Structure 1
Amino acid sequence: MTSGAEQHALDGRAALVTGATRGIGLAVARRLGAAGAAVWVTGRDPEGVRRAVGELGKAGIRAGGTAGDVADPAHLSACVSELTGTFGRLDVLVNNAATNQPYGPLMEADPDRWTAAFATNVEAPLRLVQLAWRAWMGGHGGSVVNICTEGTHGVGPNVGAYVTGKAALLHLTRQLAGELAPRVRVNAVSPGLVRTEMARFVWEGAEQRLGESLPLGRIGEPEDIAEAVHWLVSDAARWVTGTDLLVDGGTRVRAAWQGGSSAVHEQLRQSRPPGSA
């Protein structure tokens, strides 16, 4: 019988993680690398990519990266081409890169920014799955994880564009799980509020109150999400596909208990991220 450690090992595999210069993406890259995978990271900032690759290398992880915008199809093609040219394979794809803009009521959403958000949050993941399938997974198998959000399990103020895109990504996850089975498993992880730069405008200055509002007593850390992703892409989850793994500290439990409201929703009503119109 295969041991638990062997089922979680990723030795000899290669992974692509988008939006991996910080936060959840970098934590995922670290976790997959620690399990034995070679890791390729992406990010818009070339210096951020170099820094992430250097950090992974210092940890003994074989790593590389490509800087660019996931909304640019040429960048996505370059990522897969450079990765497979370096590692010779592509076994794991984690679609993490995302934007939370436009932020605010949908009746005020600029159509061009709405379209740009979908290019990042929905179209880019599909394009990357297509590229990964053609480059390696179609012939050899693999695993895909799309990072969604616990927000798809309800509604909330000001994040309508972001959550609608993630809801589309969640359905895309299920559709691809059906189409690509049994060769490729496709799953989603839906985080609650996590201590990241992207979500800083929500938790900064309110972390204790928000954490105390959750059944598990704290907001999430990037490593919480990384552990879930690692499990899903490993052989330990070999009979799991098309699922949405909710990793939210009990946010949805508390929201349902309180009739749909939550401290995070109240914070979203009062906060705006940097760069919001």
Structure 2
Amino acid sequence: MTDHKSMPPLAVITGGAGHIGLACARRFRDYRVLITDLRPEAVDSAVSTLQAEGVNAVAMPADITRHADAKALAEAAHDMGGFSVLVHAAGVAPPTPPEIIYAVNLYGTINILEAFEPLVHPGVVGVCVASMAGHRTLGHRFDSLLLEPEQGPAELARLIEAEAPSTPKHRLAYATSKRGTILQVQRRAFAWGQRQGRLLSVSPGVLGDTAMGARRQENLDHSGNDSPLGRLGSASDIAEVVRFVTSPAASLMTGVDLLVDGGYLAAADHQFEADRREKWHALEF
């Protein structure tokens, strides 16, 4: 029988084949790391890369839009002695169809948090990767739907689109689904706290080394010049924040969202001209 108590703690990372997921896995190299993502070949490739770098990583493909897959992932973590850190980095962005964006970003988050909550024990920390887009105020109009989604992803997309018919559907789905991630964390942090665990979200701004960041830079003059820091972020910047909030130094932090955007939202709210600020929050660009 394996003595898990003598082994390094376990970090579970969803979306582990993506830029942020991989960066987080590297930052938790002193842990055992359970990597999951949708496509088996992507998970296997990520784990091979990590193992070559000396990370103690294992792979488990999973479709987090399926409650059964999320539960199986939690059971695998339990069989490995229980988890100490959960980094939920799985997510999709435009031009993915809106119903899939909701299925992965919102319903997938719900599935993962519901599956892992029974395994929370003292000292456990969960971090969900949201987005600066979740702070764009148009998305706040739909909080009740996002907190208690009773419809399937396609029907939810139709309901929200009907309330904002002039807003680009993909952009609307991304912003509202990430708003939903933030809300789900806030809602569930108390239950984690009852088990002496912590649950937070981290909201990246535009990152220069991700596929979504590359698309944003192609479509906009978005080189980081609107940020007080004058630069875009990177996946490793996000991983550093994730590592910090899972550490004892952040032991009083739970139920909150940490915006890691180089100050872009602050600039949008206080430096943009009124018309540009309103258009940004209305998802017009």
- Specify the TM-score bucket, using the shorter chain as the normaliser: 0.7 to 0.9
User: Alignment partner for residue 227 of structure 2, among 206, 214, 220?
Assistant: 214
Note if contact 1:102-1:117 (Cα within 8 Å) is conserved in structure 2: no
Return the letter of the residue paired with 1:124.
G
The residue correspondences of 1:132-211 to structure 2 (distance < 5 A) are 132-134=116-118, 136-137=119-120, 139-155=121-137, 158=168, 159-182=171-194, 183-195=196-208, 196-204=210-218, 210-211=223-224
Residues 116-127 of structure 1 correspond to what in structure 2 (within 5 A)?
A: 116-127=100-111
Q: Of 52, 55, 59, which aligns to 1:65?
A: 59
Q: Distance in 1 between matches of 2:73 and 2:239?
A: 21
1:17 equivalent among 3, 10, 13: 13
Asked if 1:99 corresponds to 2:113, the answer is no
- Read off the aligned partner of 1:94 and give its amino acid letter: V
1:27 to 1, 6, 23: 23
TM-score of the superposed pair, with normalisation by structure 1: 0.78
Aligned partners of 1:143 and 1:186 also within 8 Å: yes
2-structure distance, mates of 1:124, 1:63:
23
For the residue of structure 1 that corresponds to 2:128, the secondary structure is: strand
Normalising by structure 2, we get a TM-score of 0.76
Q: Give yes or no for contact 1:102–1:161 (8 Å, CA) kept in 2.
A: no
- Over residues 166-189 of structure 1, what are the superposed CA-to-partner deviations in whole Å (9 max), with x where a residue is unaligned? 112111111111222141101110
Q: Is the 8 A contact 2:185 2:200 kept in 1?
A: yes
Query: Distance in 2 between the 1:202 and 1:102 partners?
Result: 12
Query: In structure 1, what is the equivalent of residue 72 of structure 2?
Result: 78
- Report which stretch shifted further, 92-101 or 227-236: 92-101
Cα distance change, pair 120–51 in 1 and its aligned pair in 2 (3 A): same
- Deviation of 1:206 after TM superposition, in Å, equals 6.0
Q: Which one of the candidate residues 107, 128, 132 is aligned to 2:112? A: 128
Which amino acid is 1:52 matched to? Answer: A
- The one-letter code sitting in structure 2 at the alignment partner of 1:43 is D
Counterpart CA distance in 2 for 1:61 and 1:84 is 20
Task: Say if 2:68 is the partner of 1:38.
Answer: no
Matched residues, number: 243
- Tell me if structure 2 keeps the 8 A contact 1:174–1:187: yes
